[in-house]
Structure 1
Amino acid sequence: MQSVNRRRSAPAFLALGCVGAFASSPALAVDNADEAAVDQQADAGQIIVNGRYNQDIISPKATAPLINTPRSVAIVSENVIKDTGSATLVEALRTVPGITFGAAEGGNPIGDRPFIRGFDSQGSTYVDGVRDTSAQSRETFAVEQIQVVRGSDSSLGGRGSAGGSLNIITKLPRDRDFASADLSYGTADYKRITADLNYRLTDSVAFRVAGMWHDQEVAGRDALWQKRWGVAPSLTIGMNAPTQLTLSWYHLDTDELPDSGLPYRYVCSTTVCNAPTGFTFSEPMVGDVTLATGATGHVDRDSFYGLKNRDFRESKTGQFTVRASHDFGGVTLRNTARYSHNSQAYIYTQPDDSQGNAFNSGQVWRRANTRYGYVDTLSNQIDLFGKFNTGGIEHSFSAGAELSWEKARRGTFNVTTRHFSSGTTNGPSCSPAQVATFDCTSLFNPNPSDPWVNHVDGNYAATGPITRTTPGQETQNNANTKAIYAFDSISIGQSLILNLGARYDDYRSKVALPLINGVTPTVSRDDGIFNWQAGLIFKPTANTSLYASYATSATPPNSLLGEGQEGNSFGTIAATTTPAQTAAAIAALRAAADAALKVERTKSYEIGAKADLFNSRLSLNVALFRTETKNARVTGPNNTVEYIGERLIKGVEFGFNGEILPKWSIFGGYTYMDAKIVDGGFTALTAAAVPGQAAKTVLVPSVNNGRQFPQTAKHSFSLWTNYEVLPKLNIGGGAFYMSRVFGGYADNRAATQNGAGVVTVSPATRIIARSVPSYWRFDARASYEFDERIGLSVNIQNLTNKTYFSQAFSNHYATMAAGRSAFATLSVKY
């Protein structure tokens, strides 16, 4: 396996509102009144309001429409996804302000890692209401809409969900025949084909299948490419009948050369700090760069530090879902069962070693980050929902239970890169030997086609294939969840609605660590988690509402099963542990899991207002929110793990969706977040040993204290608009703004001691904030319908060819966004 890079040819939950209230909003205009009328008859739960979709999709936990939901919610409709040319979840969610995507190092460094209100929501992503935790990159070819719910909502989904959650609604059969296909071709060798076919086999049976094939290079980036294909068939028996059964399957296969990004300019630690004195933004190096030596060069935006004959990423997703329901007349019982299997394997280059080489000498270390593994999930949810009256009070209720089993197993690839000058001692990095073996490359002129080879011994004398670790070196995570929940939306008269909800989870997690000294260490934990939420809505009119809400969330240890950057994990055992130390190390790890680790808890407060204007053609909403965590996991003053960290986010959100004038539609909003790490705990510094004194550890306040949340923009704005110039001609475009996003912080504080053992801490003289600068991005689109069945559209993304970064990792690197690209799409429908 020397060369692992290759190109292949390959052929409701959202309940969401405070208590389970469901969310929706108008979408873009339906093509014509006749089609709208057909859809109104065809799709229960998708009614047409003045020729526009009102997207209240039926869900077991949907106890109220959006206007009566005490929660800030945004819905990205299928029309918005198509008009913006969004082929992935990441692309679609750029239309929603307040969401950023984070880069990482392990777990899921390349796949979807959305941050909502400052919190990693990778583990709070759902597909048709079922948790979808594994590391993956999601497509849009089979997506009906994406629902974004902000604020703590563990009472709805269970563990996690501190900042919000995503629920992806998939395409399922409808009771009318139709077929559509989109064929796209554009710059950067962009090629994409999607198809969607729905056929009513009988009056009560319908079949639907969506498919996709995609192949492209990445505009403005050297060497990178992406290929994928997918298919999603589904069958519904009992269409429009009281009893209904739906079977669906989803498969996605991806293959790509992953982007390794650009290294930050400065590094800073107790041993090396090449930043200027004072506080400095350490941004990725692009454009004209002057090194510490005085040498000057140019880093092109397309600079790629990876290796084409080594780096790769492959993933496969398979999901099989069975959903059965029966309507008893006002009350419905529904059961959803799903089995999913997700696998991924990657080797990608992390272009930095934290030794300052890039800025000091113009050399970049090609660190190989690797992983292979899979996640299997089996889950079952049963829901009972409907309406009833007690006296003059109407209740819209939902109650249910969930059982799930999750298994994640992972290992790494054996890749050897020369890190130190001698290969065995801790010397300066990027020596001539490293350059000669292509483990380092030029900052200014990297060559992804370098003939790198894998060495299999510490002396770098022998070469060999890249192999996987042995089964004994793999890590396995298992989790079992048992949960019950209930929600009620209580209408008190015509103007007051009380929303209540609660959920209890029994979450059991177990980790089997890699084999060490003949022993497989195992650690387990059982957490009982209770969450609740409440909201009160006042309706001045039928189309307006004012609300206040409170909600909690809980993140238990090991909630991501090792599939993300998790600060609340069980921990591990150092590979250098001796046989005599093994038993004690395992005992200590288990004791920490039993006693030291805790469930992190978050509270969210929100007040807001909503209005549907112009006969429900335009929806507006505004929300003030506060989210706080007071027991975050940090290092305490005694150099032990303590749950004393504090995080606080305050902000305001404004959203709009619909028509501001006839034939002129808009979608988007603005978010402001004051996100602070109030208390980040402490950082351990080591005072080296001196004659007569052993090394000592001293604790100092964390450099993170009082600073802005990583992966969180203070200001973000998005706007997508479309205008019908002529009956068949539309023009539109988008404007997207993101203020500075921080990856992490560091300083040069150090500790020393004298012969008497007195420790002195030198204060920080240099502090860096690894971050990416703010940016504006603009898109454009034009479309023309030749007739009711054939249309042509042209999308231009990143119209001004803006150089900006889409992700900021906490250390090492940031991800460069794609440059300007254009593609035309021929749409055919029947």
Structure 2
Amino acid sequence: MGGDFSRVGTAVAVALIGAIAAGGSAEAQQARPDPTLPPVVVQPGQATPRSAADPGARPRNAARRTARAARSHANPAPIAPAENAASLPRDGIEGYFAQTTTAGAKVATPILQLPRSVSTVTQQEIADRDAQSVREALQYTAGVSSYFREGQFTRDFVSIRGFQALQFLDGLRLNVNNYGLEPYGFERIDVLKGPAATLYGQGSPGGLWDITSKRPTDQAFGEALLRFGLRNTMEGAFDVGGPVTSDRSLLYRVVGVGRFGDGEIDFTRNERAYFAPSFTWRNEDTSLTILAAYQYDPHVTVLQPLPYQGAVVPGPTGQFISRNLFLGEPGFHDTSVQQARIGYEFKHQMNEVFSFQQNFYYQNIDINLNEVQSRASASTTTTARMAANQTFQIDMYQIDNRLKADFDNGMLRHHVLFGVDYSAVPNYQGTGTAAATNFNFYSPAYGTPVPTPIITTNRYQDQRQFGTYIQDRTEIGRLSVLAGVRYDNLEQDQKTRTLNTTTGVLSNPPWTLQPDHGLTYNGGLIYNFSNGVAPYASYSQTFTPTSGTDFFGRAFIPVTGDQKEVGIKYMPPGLDLLLTAAVFDITQYDVLTNDLSHPGFAVQTSSVRSQGGEVELKTTRLYGFNVSAAYTYLDAKVIATNTIGGVGKHPVGIPMNQASLWTTYRFAEGVMRGVTLGGGVRFVGDQAVDALNTLPVPSFTLYDLTARYELGALSPTLAKWDVALNVKNLMDTRYVGSCDDQFNCYYGPGRNIIGTLRARW
């Protein structure tokens, strides 16, 4: 595999050289603008910005209507760029906050007109903090906890308001296990807090995060960078794009990343290859954007669970277990994840009222796992291990069709969205296991031969979901009222074929079909005062189908939940500042727990309530400062369970208090001109280890630093270049991010230092 990545490194180096060389042609293209088509902003479906002083204003595109009416079919008129379009900010790209979002409405909606809590992590904030994953990108976001099961870079486990959240990409759900995506391919991440089933179907009561992929722009540009980090890590990346044709009707963008180096845990690697091309074709009324990506992680590290005694508190020997300890076998350590996807976004403006949008993607994930894994045991000095041979083949198909109508009805301005979506997720999992030697946490010994287990269990599954929804956002002067309803129909076919190792014959049981359906509602209202204050209230529901049956063969009913939320948003006119605050009450019903009367089975006897509040502040170049600050108070409790003594206890792994502050300051003049300095602090309160809350994971505080220097301050010939340094966990604090129970705790990463050399044109 080392040879493979030597070739990847060479390819990336060649691509970087080509990208830098392309800078000259990009500048030539940029010097010859052709305004025959309106400019494309990077955030898709960008709503026309409204003055914070008059959010109820209704701009009309009279020039477009006049031109369209006078146009000859034989000789269509060229399209003029939108008024002041060249001066519009790239929303969600530059700065630290966005003025519009598609999360919560599926179409671009001003933040101050959406009665839901939404946080945006912009491209600039991701770059300033040099986030290497979604969980790192969301570490400074209110209501979000991203420290669950740390220690691997291929999964993004994130909880929102106390519940594990779901991952979306370009508005479509990624249905399986939140496999990590390359953050250099992101434009922004929007976090919608609370249930979202009315628009998105089955999901989490905590909410979701929606990643927007980088896509073409109508201005030629380029970027190339080299990163160097601890543990022999080196990364090359490039991002180039712009118009292909002189009339800017065809645009392109290509993003690439190649990385190799050692992991923090002994005998592990940190390697990735990523390539993402995209193309946009458009005319006055129609656009089609093709989005594709390929990602290969050739050396994945599985979770390394450790006992509470030895990770959180000293072990029997009085020592802590090393953070670098590898629990597997170096000679049986070969796990890879390969992801490929392709999709499109189609938009068509039918007339002044109706528009149609369609999103589609197909994604394939192939996982091959050969690992010796730790198995929890009561011992605090040794662990039992198991050799596993697993293969996963997952296909995902998603399509979402939306018809939007914007029209007046007397004093009312309606934005009606009618949608139909469909998803199918056929997947296969093959598993073979065998016992392996025990392992001592304090005296590790490696080298035991491990034969590859035969795959004996073959699970086939096909999940299908069909949903239809309607939502109306109505403007009544400064008041916006949101109401929606959705119906979902779901089916899951499954069968498991088992190998008889004596005869070599696979069983062939019949498929089991489990149908389900759900009806969900949401509603809310928000009022915009002229001073930029916008109070709101909302109600939303969620449901999640639950596969399987109980001891008596009865199918489980869906897990349901709802949220009541009241909040306020503040975006003062003339200041690049967004302040949001919210209080919420979420209840989740009919959660599975162990059947105490019939071991090995489950019952639906648990319910959880999450109450709390959060405050978030974002600024963009406010007196030279970019700021992202957040505080979350979360009182989550079990309100029903069959566990004796469990009622009133906190769920495992949910901190009650979290706070963070990240800021940067750029010196615009003087001897420090071109220098940007910044840093952050993250505080996570203590959390429960077990259902009866007898043990805590202690609170921890982490510090981060950043510094960047624009070399153009030294010489105009270096105007395209800058260098940066990022330090994460500055004090190299040893901490446990979370525990599943007292035998499965997970260390967080130690100090990491990354230097970056970047060229932009």
For normalisation by structure 1, the TM-score amounts to 0.75
The answer to whether residue 530 in structure 2 is matched with residue 541 in structure 1 is yes
Structure 1 residues 790 and 82: CA distance shift in structure 2, 3 A = same
Q: Is the 8 A contact 1:314 1:344 kept in 2?
A: yes
How far apart in 2 are the matches of 1:49 and 1:255?
31
1:388-416 deviations in Å (ceiling 9; x for gaps): 11011101222111022111210123433
Q: How far is the alpha carbon of 1:446 from its aligned partner?
A: 1.9
Structure 1 residues 102 and 370: CA distance shift in structure 2, 3 A = farther
* One-letter identity of the residue aligned with 2:481: L
Q: Is the 8 A contact 2:118 2:192 kept in 1?
A: yes
The answer to whether residue 446 in structure 2 is matched with residue 404 in structure 1 is no
2:559 maps to which of 600, 606, 612: 600
Q: Is the 8 A contact 1:183 1:827 kept in 2?
A: yes
How far apart in 1 are the matches of 2:98 and 2:749?
34
Task: Describe the SS at the equivalent of 1:366.
Answer: strand
Structure 2 counterpart of 1:443: 441
The answer to whether residue 571 in structure 2 is matched with residue 628 in structure 1 is no
Task: Describe the SS at the equivalent of 2:661.
Answer: strand
Aligned residues: 674
2:609 maps to which of 630, 643, 648: 648
Q: How far is the alpha carbon of 1:39 from its aligned partner?
A: 14
1:407-453 deviations in Å (ceiling 9; x for gaps): 12101234332xxxxxxxxxxxxxxxxxxxxx123222324xx1121
Task: Describe the SS at the equivalent of 2:199.
Answer: helix
* One-letter identity of the residue aligned with 1:200: P
1:234-265 deviations in Å (ceiling 9; x for gaps): 11111x63111111211110022515435224
* One-letter identity of the residue aligned with 2:234: K
The answer to whether residue 548 in structure 2 is matched with residue 570 in structure 1 is yes
Task: Describe the SS at the equivalent of 1:537.
Answer: strand
How far apart in 2 are the matches of 1:72 and 1:15?
20
Q: How far is the alpha carbon of 1:353 from its aligned partner?
A: 3.2
The answer to whether residue 199 in structure 2 is matched with residue 213 in structure 1 is no
Structure 1 residues 103 and 798: CA distance shift in structure 2, 3 A = closer
Task: Describe the SS at the equivalent of 1:809.
Answer: strand
Structure 2 counterpart of 1:560: none
Structure 1 residues 371 and 537: CA distance shift in structure 2, 3 A = same
Structure 1 residues 412 and 52: CA distance shift in structure 2, 3 A = closer
Q: Is the 8 A contact 1:379 1:403 kept in 2?
A: yes
Task: Describe the SS at the equivalent of 2:261.
Answer: strand
Structure 2 counterpart of 1:758: none
Q: Is the 8 A contact 1:248 1:320 kept in 2?
A: yes
1:52-98 deviations in Å (ceiling 9; x for gaps): 87452568722631122211211111111111111211221212243
Structure 1 counterpart of 2:271: 227
1:79-130 deviations in Å (ceiling 9; x for gaps): 111111112112212122432347679xx99622222122122xx2110011
Q: Is the 8 A contact 2:95 2:122 kept in 1?
A: no
Give 4+ residue runs of structure 1 displaced > 6 Å after superposition: 4-7, 20-23, 37-40, 42-45, 48-53
Structure 2 counterpart of 1:750: none
Task: Describe the SS at the equivalent of 2:560.
Answer: strand
Task: Describe the SS at the equivalent of 1:592.
Answer: coil
How far apart in 1 are the matches of 2:679 and 2:94?
24
Structure 1 residues 637 and 798: CA distance shift in structure 2, 3 A = closer
How far apart in 2 are the matches of 1:248 and 1:84?
26
1:358-384 deviations in Å (ceiling 9; x for gaps): 2xxx32333445532021011221111
* One-letter identity of the residue aligned with 2:431: T
Task: Describe the SS at the equivalent of 1:90.
Answer: helix
Structure 1 residues 103 and 674: CA distance shift in structure 2, 3 A = closer
How far apart in 2 are the matches of 1:337 and 1:386?
21
- Tell which has more relative contact order, 1 or 2 (C-alpha 8 A, sep 6+): 1
Structure 2 counterpart of 1:528: 517
Task: Describe the SS at the equivalent of 1:389.
Answer: strand
How far apart in 1 are the matches of 2:390 and 2:657?
35
2:343 maps to which of 318, 321, 345: 321
Alignment of 1:475-490 (within 5 A): 475-490=459-474
How far apart in 2 are the matches of 1:180 and 1:156?
36
2:725 maps to which of 790, 794, 797: 794
Structure 2 counterpart of 1:194: 237
The answer to whether residue 111 in structure 2 is matched with residue 149 in structure 1 is no
Name which of structure 1's ranges 337-346 and 156-165 shifts more when overlaid on structure 2: 337-346
Task: Describe the SS at the equivalent of 2:336.
Answer: strand
The answer to whether residue 405 in structure 2 is matched with residue 474 in structure 1 is no
Task: Describe the SS at the equivalent of 1:79.
Answer: helix
How far apart in 1 are the matches of 2:170 and 2:228?
31
Name which of structure 1's ranges 320-329 and 298-307 shifts more when overlaid on structure 2: 298-307
Q: Is the 8 A contact 2:97 2:620 kept in 1?
A: no
Aligned CA RMSD, in angstroms, stands at 3.4
Alignment of 1:222-621 (within 5 A): 222-238=266-282, 241-258=284-301, 260-265=303-308, 284-285=310-311, 288-289=314-315, 291=316, 295-330=317-352, 331-354=354-377, 356-358=378-380, 362-368=381-387, 371-417=390-436, 439-447=437-445, 450-454=446-450, 465-470=451-456, 473-494=457-478, 496-515=479-498, 518-541=507-530, 543-557=532-546, 569-570=547-548, 591-593=553-555, 597-613=556-572, 615-621=574-580
Alignment of 1:20-31 (within 5 A): none
Q: Is the 8 A contact 2:149 2:738 kept in 1?
A: no
* One-letter identity of the residue aligned with 1:309: G
* One-letter identity of the residue aligned with 1:605: K
Return 5+ residue gaps in structure 2 as ranges: 9-40, 53-80, 501-506, 713-718
The answer to whether residue 740 in structure 2 is matched with residue 822 in structure 1 is no
Structure 1 residues 6 and 745: CA distance shift in structure 2, 3 A = farther
* One-letter identity of the residue aligned with 2:545: P
How far apart in 2 are the matches of 1:782 and 1:400?
46
How far apart in 2 are the matches of 1:49 and 1:144?
6
Return 5+ residue gaps in structure 1 as ranges: 26-36, 266-282, 418-438, 455-464, 558-568, 573-587, 683-700, 747-766
Alignment of 1:127-166 (within 5 A): 127-135=169-177, 136-166=179-209
Structure 1 residues 376 and 521: CA distance shift in structure 2, 3 A = same
For normalisation by structure 2, the TM-score amounts to 0.82
Q: How far is the alpha carbon of 1:641 from its aligned partner?
A: 5.1
Task: Describe the SS at the equivalent of 1:155.
Answer: helix
The answer to whether residue 122 in structure 2 is matched with residue 126 in structure 1 is no
Q: Is the 8 A contact 2:95 2:621 kept in 1?
A: no
Task: Describe the SS at the equivalent of 2:482.
Answer: strand
Structure 1 residues 523 and 103: CA distance shift in structure 2, 3 A = farther
How far apart in 1 are the matches of 2:733 and 2:195?
35
Q: Is the 8 A contact 1:118 1:710 kept in 2?
A: no
The answer to whether residue 676 in structure 2 is matched with residue 730 in structure 1 is yes
Q: Is the 8 A contact 2:385 2:435 kept in 1?
A: no
1:717 maps to which of 659, 662, 666: 659
Q: How far is the alpha carbon of 1:298 from its aligned partner?
A: 5.0
Q: How far is the alpha carbon of 1:296 from its aligned partner?
A: 4.3
The answer to whether residue 220 in structure 2 is matched with residue 177 in structure 1 is yes
Structure 1 residues 97 and 415: CA distance shift in structure 2, 3 A = farther
The answer to whether residue 136 in structure 2 is matched with residue 84 in structure 1 is no
How far apart in 2 are the matches of 1:237 and 1:536?
37
Q: Is the 8 A contact 2:101 2:111 kept in 1?
A: no
Task: Describe the SS at the equivalent of 2:288.
Answer: strand
